[in-house]
Structure 1
Amino acid sequence: MQLNKHIKKSLKIIILLAFIGYVMVLAYLLFFSQYRNSVQGIVAYNIIPFQSISRYLDNFNGFSFRLMTDNFFGNMLAFYPMGLLLPVLIKRLRNVFSMTGIAFTFSFLVECLQFLFRLGAFDVDDMILNTTGAVVGYLTFTVGYKIYTGKK
Protein backbone atom coordinates (compact mmCIF):
# COMPACT_ATOMS: atom_id res chain seq x y z
CA MET A 1 0.00 0.00 0.00
CA GLN A 2 2.85 2.38 0.82
CA LEU A 3 4.47 1.78 -2.58
CA ASN A 4 1.18 2.64 -4.26
CA LYS A 5 1.12 5.97 -2.36
CA HIS A 6 4.69 6.76 -3.48
CA ILE A 7 3.88 5.86 -7.09
CA LYS A 8 0.83 8.14 -7.05
CA LYS A 9 2.86 11.00 -5.59
CA SER A 10 5.62 10.48 -8.17
CA LEU A 11 3.08 10.42 -11.00
CA LYS A 12 1.53 13.65 -9.75
CA ILE A 13 4.97 15.31 -9.71
CA ILE A 14 5.65 14.09 -13.24
CA ILE A 15 2.27 15.42 -14.39
CA LEU A 16 2.96 18.76 -12.67
CA LEU A 17 6.31 19.01 -14.46
CA ALA A 18 4.61 18.09 -17.74
CA PHE A 19 2.02 20.83 -17.14
CA ILE A 20 4.72 23.41 -16.39
CA GLY A 21 6.54 22.38 -19.57
CA TYR A 22 3.28 22.62 -21.52
CA VAL A 23 2.62 26.14 -20.21
CA MET A 24 6.15 27.22 -21.15
CA VAL A 25 5.82 25.84 -24.70
CA LEU A 26 2.37 27.39 -25.03
CA ALA A 27 3.66 30.79 -23.85
CA TYR A 28 6.47 30.60 -26.39
CA LEU A 29 4.11 29.69 -29.23
CA LEU A 30 1.53 32.31 -28.30
CA PHE A 31 3.87 35.23 -27.58
CA PHE A 32 7.45 34.68 -28.74
CA SER A 33 7.56 32.31 -31.72
CA GLN A 34 8.68 33.26 -35.20
CA TYR A 35 5.04 33.42 -36.30
CA ARG A 36 4.24 35.92 -33.54
CA ASN A 37 7.16 38.06 -34.65
CA SER A 38 5.83 38.00 -38.22
CA VAL A 39 2.43 39.39 -37.16
CA GLN A 40 3.83 41.87 -34.65
CA GLY A 41 2.22 45.27 -34.96
CA ILE A 42 -1.00 43.96 -36.49
CA VAL A 43 -4.13 45.33 -34.86
CA ALA A 44 -7.14 43.29 -35.90
CA TYR A 45 -10.09 41.66 -34.25
CA ASN A 46 -13.06 39.41 -34.84
CA ILE A 47 -15.89 39.58 -32.32
CA ILE A 48 -18.45 37.72 -34.45
CA PRO A 49 -18.66 34.08 -33.30
CA PHE A 50 -17.94 31.46 -35.98
CA GLN A 51 -16.94 34.00 -38.65
CA SER A 52 -13.32 32.78 -38.91
CA ILE A 53 -14.37 29.16 -38.39
CA SER A 54 -16.94 29.23 -41.21
CA ARG A 55 -14.47 30.97 -43.52
CA TYR A 56 -11.95 28.29 -42.72
CA LEU A 57 -14.44 25.47 -43.35
CA ASP A 58 -15.52 27.08 -46.65
CA ASN A 59 -11.89 26.92 -47.83
CA PHE A 60 -11.22 23.39 -46.50
CA ASN A 61 -9.11 21.41 -48.97
CA GLY A 62 -8.38 18.09 -47.26
CA PHE A 63 -6.21 17.07 -44.34
CA SER A 64 -2.51 17.92 -44.25
CA PHE A 65 0.22 18.60 -41.70
CA ARG A 66 -0.37 22.30 -42.16
CA LEU A 67 -4.04 21.78 -41.29
CA MET A 68 -2.98 20.19 -38.01
CA THR A 69 -0.90 23.19 -37.01
CA ASP A 70 -2.74 26.18 -38.39
CA ASN A 71 -5.65 28.14 -37.03
CA PHE A 72 -8.42 25.57 -36.85
CA PHE A 73 -6.87 22.44 -35.34
CA GLY A 74 -3.85 24.27 -33.97
CA ASN A 75 -6.04 26.26 -31.60
CA MET A 76 -7.75 23.11 -30.37
CA LEU A 77 -4.49 21.17 -30.00
CA ALA A 78 -2.91 24.06 -28.10
CA PHE A 79 -5.42 23.75 -25.25
CA TYR A 80 -5.99 19.98 -25.31
CA PRO A 81 -3.23 19.33 -22.70
CA MET A 82 -4.82 21.85 -20.35
CA GLY A 83 -8.03 19.82 -20.24
CA LEU A 84 -6.11 16.58 -19.91
CA LEU A 85 -3.62 17.57 -17.20
CA LEU A 86 -5.34 20.15 -14.97
CA PRO A 87 -8.02 17.77 -13.62
CA VAL A 88 -5.26 15.40 -12.50
CA LEU A 89 -3.61 18.20 -10.56
CA ILE A 90 -6.70 20.00 -9.23
CA LYS A 91 -9.67 17.87 -8.18
CA ARG A 92 -12.07 20.83 -8.22
CA LEU A 93 -11.62 20.95 -12.00
CA ARG A 94 -13.04 17.47 -12.47
CA ASN A 95 -16.25 18.70 -14.04
CA VAL A 96 -16.89 19.98 -17.51
CA PHE A 97 -18.25 23.36 -16.37
CA SER A 98 -15.18 24.24 -14.31
CA MET A 99 -12.85 23.15 -17.10
CA THR A 100 -14.83 25.11 -19.69
CA GLY A 101 -14.72 28.22 -17.51
CA ILE A 102 -10.98 27.96 -16.84
CA ALA A 103 -10.15 27.32 -20.50
CA PHE A 104 -12.36 30.13 -21.76
CA THR A 105 -10.97 32.59 -19.19
CA PHE A 106 -7.37 31.65 -19.98
CA SER A 107 -8.03 31.88 -23.73
CA PHE A 108 -9.70 35.28 -23.29
CA LEU A 109 -6.65 36.48 -21.34
CA VAL A 110 -4.32 35.24 -24.11
CA GLU A 111 -6.37 36.97 -26.81
CA CYS A 112 -6.41 40.22 -24.84
CA LEU A 113 -2.63 40.10 -24.29
CA GLN A 114 -1.96 39.33 -27.96
CA PHE A 115 -4.16 42.27 -28.96
CA LEU A 116 -2.67 44.59 -26.34
CA PHE A 117 0.91 43.78 -27.34
CA ARG A 118 0.03 43.63 -31.05
CA LEU A 119 1.06 40.01 -31.47
CA GLY A 120 -1.91 38.99 -33.56
CA ALA A 121 -5.62 39.50 -33.79
CA PHE A 122 -8.20 39.24 -31.04
CA ASP A 123 -10.46 36.51 -32.39
CA VAL A 124 -13.49 35.17 -30.55
CA ASP A 125 -13.27 32.06 -32.73
CA ASP A 126 -9.82 31.32 -31.30
CA MET A 127 -11.41 31.35 -27.86
CA ILE A 128 -14.13 28.96 -29.04
CA LEU A 129 -11.54 26.59 -30.57
CA ASN A 130 -9.19 26.83 -27.56
CA THR A 131 -12.04 26.07 -25.18
CA THR A 132 -13.19 23.19 -27.37
CA GLY A 133 -9.68 21.72 -27.29
CA ALA A 134 -9.57 21.91 -23.48
CA VAL A 135 -13.01 20.30 -23.20
CA VAL A 136 -11.95 17.46 -25.52
CA GLY A 137 -8.84 17.03 -23.35
CA TYR A 138 -11.06 16.95 -20.27
CA LEU A 139 -13.33 14.34 -21.84
CA THR A 140 -10.24 12.26 -22.62
CA PHE A 141 -9.21 12.59 -18.95
CA THR A 142 -12.70 11.54 -17.85
CA VAL A 143 -12.70 8.40 -19.98
CA GLY A 144 -9.17 7.50 -18.84
CA TYR A 145 -10.03 8.15 -15.20
CA LYS A 146 -13.12 5.94 -15.38
CA ILE A 147 -11.10 3.15 -16.98
CA TYR A 148 -8.31 3.56 -14.38
CA THR A 149 -10.66 3.57 -11.39
CA GLY A 150 -13.14 1.06 -12.81
CA LYS A 151 -16.04 3.50 -12.32
CA LYS A 152 -18.92 3.78 -14.77
Structure 2
Amino acid sequence: MLCQSQSKTGGESRVFNSIGAFSQLVRERPELANALCSNKALTRIDIDRSGESKTGPAFDINQFGLVTRFSLDNTSKWNVDEVENLQEALNWMKGKLTTDSDFYSEFKLSSGDLLVVANHKISHGRNGYEDTKGNPRQLYRALFKQTL
Protein backbone atom coordinates (compact mmCIF):
# COMPACT_ATOMS: atom_id res chain seq x y z
CA MET A 1 0.00 0.00 0.00
CA LEU A 2 1.26 3.43 -0.92
CA CYS A 3 -0.18 6.35 1.04
CA GLN A 4 -1.01 9.29 -1.23
CA SER A 5 -2.69 11.31 1.52
CA GLN A 6 -3.58 10.44 5.11
CA SER A 7 -6.90 10.87 6.86
CA LYS A 8 -7.75 13.75 9.18
CA THR A 9 -7.99 11.35 12.13
CA GLY A 10 -7.67 7.58 12.58
CA GLY A 11 -6.77 5.15 9.81
CA GLU A 12 -3.82 3.63 11.68
CA SER A 13 -2.48 0.47 10.07
CA ARG A 14 -2.59 -2.65 12.24
CA VAL A 15 -0.02 -5.36 11.62
CA PHE A 16 -0.20 -8.70 13.43
CA ASN A 17 2.49 -11.37 13.16
CA SER A 18 -0.14 -14.09 13.39
CA ILE A 19 2.38 -16.74 12.29
CA GLY A 20 4.63 -15.81 15.23
CA ALA A 21 1.74 -15.81 17.69
CA PHE A 22 0.50 -19.14 16.34
CA SER A 23 4.00 -20.63 16.67
CA GLN A 24 3.99 -19.64 20.35
CA LEU A 25 0.53 -21.17 20.74
CA VAL A 26 1.81 -24.46 19.25
CA ARG A 27 4.48 -24.59 21.95
CA GLU A 28 2.22 -23.57 24.83
CA ARG A 29 -1.17 -25.08 23.97
CA PRO A 30 -1.00 -27.51 21.03
CA GLU A 31 -4.65 -28.54 21.45
CA LEU A 32 -5.70 -24.93 20.80
CA ALA A 33 -3.35 -24.66 17.83
CA ASN A 34 -4.96 -27.79 16.37
CA ALA A 35 -8.37 -26.10 16.52
CA LEU A 36 -7.07 -23.26 14.35
CA CYS A 37 -5.84 -25.85 11.83
CA SER A 38 -9.26 -27.48 11.42
CA ASN A 39 -10.69 -27.45 7.90
CA LYS A 40 -13.89 -26.03 9.45
CA ALA A 41 -12.28 -23.26 11.56
CA LEU A 42 -12.74 -20.12 9.46
CA THR A 43 -15.08 -19.02 6.70
CA ARG A 44 -13.86 -15.98 4.78
CA ILE A 45 -16.76 -14.22 3.03
CA ASP A 46 -16.64 -12.09 -0.12
CA ILE A 47 -12.87 -12.29 -0.46
CA ASP A 48 -11.54 -9.69 -2.91
CA ARG A 49 -15.17 -8.59 -3.46
CA SER A 50 -15.77 -11.76 -5.49
CA GLY A 51 -18.96 -12.71 -3.65
CA GLU A 52 -17.44 -16.14 -2.95
CA SER A 53 -16.82 -17.72 0.45
CA LYS A 54 -14.22 -20.27 1.48
CA THR A 55 -14.08 -22.36 4.63
CA GLY A 56 -10.77 -23.80 5.77
CA PRO A 57 -8.04 -23.68 8.37
CA ALA A 58 -6.78 -20.39 9.78
CA PHE A 59 -3.23 -21.82 9.66
CA ASP A 60 -1.90 -24.42 7.26
CA ILE A 61 1.29 -25.67 5.64
CA ASN A 62 1.74 -25.46 1.87
CA GLN A 63 4.54 -24.79 -0.63
CA PHE A 64 5.24 -21.48 1.16
CA GLY A 65 5.63 -23.16 4.57
CA LEU A 66 3.37 -22.17 7.45
CA VAL A 67 0.71 -19.80 6.12
CA THR A 68 -2.18 -17.87 7.64
CA ARG A 69 -5.73 -16.85 6.80
CA PHE A 70 -6.25 -15.43 10.31
CA SER A 71 -8.61 -12.47 10.29
CA LEU A 72 -11.00 -10.71 12.63
CA ASP A 73 -12.63 -8.36 10.13
CA ASN A 74 -16.11 -8.31 8.64
CA THR A 75 -15.15 -10.99 6.08
CA SER A 76 -14.50 -13.56 8.83
CA LYS A 77 -16.88 -16.07 10.37
CA TRP A 78 -15.28 -18.24 13.04
CA ASN A 79 -17.10 -21.57 13.29
CA VAL A 80 -16.73 -21.93 17.07
CA ASP A 81 -19.79 -24.20 17.36
CA GLU A 82 -18.29 -26.73 14.95
CA VAL A 83 -14.68 -26.98 16.16
CA GLU A 84 -13.67 -28.06 19.66
CA ASN A 85 -11.39 -25.54 21.46
CA LEU A 86 -11.76 -22.97 18.69
CA GLN A 87 -13.27 -20.24 20.89
CA GLU A 88 -10.48 -20.66 23.46
CA ALA A 89 -7.86 -20.60 20.68
CA LEU A 90 -9.40 -17.45 19.23
CA ASN A 91 -9.42 -15.80 22.67
CA TRP A 92 -5.73 -16.68 23.10
CA MET A 93 -4.87 -15.11 19.72
CA LYS A 94 -6.94 -12.00 20.51
CA GLY A 95 -4.90 -11.65 23.70
CA LYS A 96 -1.83 -11.09 21.50
CA LEU A 97 -3.53 -8.20 19.68
CA THR A 98 -2.37 -5.51 22.09
CA THR A 99 0.17 -2.75 21.65
CA ASP A 100 2.35 -4.28 24.39
CA SER A 101 2.55 -7.58 22.47
CA ASP A 102 5.68 -8.55 20.51
CA PHE A 103 3.35 -9.67 17.70
CA TYR A 104 1.28 -6.51 17.14
CA SER A 105 1.90 -2.95 16.02
CA GLU A 106 -0.17 0.10 15.05
CA PHE A 107 1.13 3.09 13.10
CA LYS A 108 -0.16 5.76 10.75
CA LEU A 109 1.13 5.91 7.21
CA SER A 110 2.16 9.39 6.08
CA SER A 111 2.04 10.68 2.53
CA GLY A 112 4.69 8.83 0.53
CA ASP A 113 4.94 5.88 2.97
CA LEU A 114 4.82 2.38 1.51
CA LEU A 115 3.74 -0.74 3.38
CA VAL A 116 4.44 -4.14 1.84
CA VAL A 117 2.82 -7.14 3.56
CA ALA A 118 3.08 -10.84 2.78
CA ASN A 119 -0.63 -11.68 3.23
CA HIS A 120 0.12 -15.37 3.68
CA LYS A 121 2.43 -14.63 6.65
CA ILE A 122 1.16 -11.42 8.28
CA SER A 123 -2.39 -10.35 9.19
CA HIS A 124 -3.19 -6.68 8.74
CA GLY A 125 -5.98 -4.13 8.82
CA ARG A 126 -6.69 -0.55 9.75
CA ASN A 127 -8.62 1.45 12.29
CA GLY A 128 -11.62 3.54 11.29
CA TYR A 129 -10.87 7.03 10.03
CA GLU A 130 -12.33 10.45 9.24
CA ASP A 131 -11.42 12.19 5.99
CA THR A 132 -10.34 15.79 5.57
CA LYS A 133 -12.85 17.75 3.50
CA GLY A 134 -11.43 18.18 0.00
CA ASN A 135 -8.44 15.92 0.72
CA PRO A 136 -9.65 12.35 1.42
CA ARG A 137 -7.39 9.54 2.61
CA GLN A 138 -5.97 7.81 -0.46
CA LEU A 139 -4.09 4.52 -0.51
CA TYR A 140 -2.98 2.66 -3.60
CA ARG A 141 -3.02 -1.11 -3.27
CA ALA A 142 -1.51 -3.85 -5.37
CA LEU A 143 -2.03 -7.59 -5.14
CA PHE A 144 0.65 -9.90 -6.48
CA LYS A 145 -0.62 -13.36 -7.34
CA GLN A 146 2.83 -14.81 -7.94
CA THR A 147 5.86 -14.96 -5.71
CA LEU A 148 8.15 -12.00 -6.33
| Same fold? TM cut 0.5 | no
Higher-Rg member (1/2): 1
TM-score by length of 1: 0.25
Of Structure 1 and Structure 2, the greater strand share is in: 2
Higher relative contact order (CA 8 A, sep 6+): 2
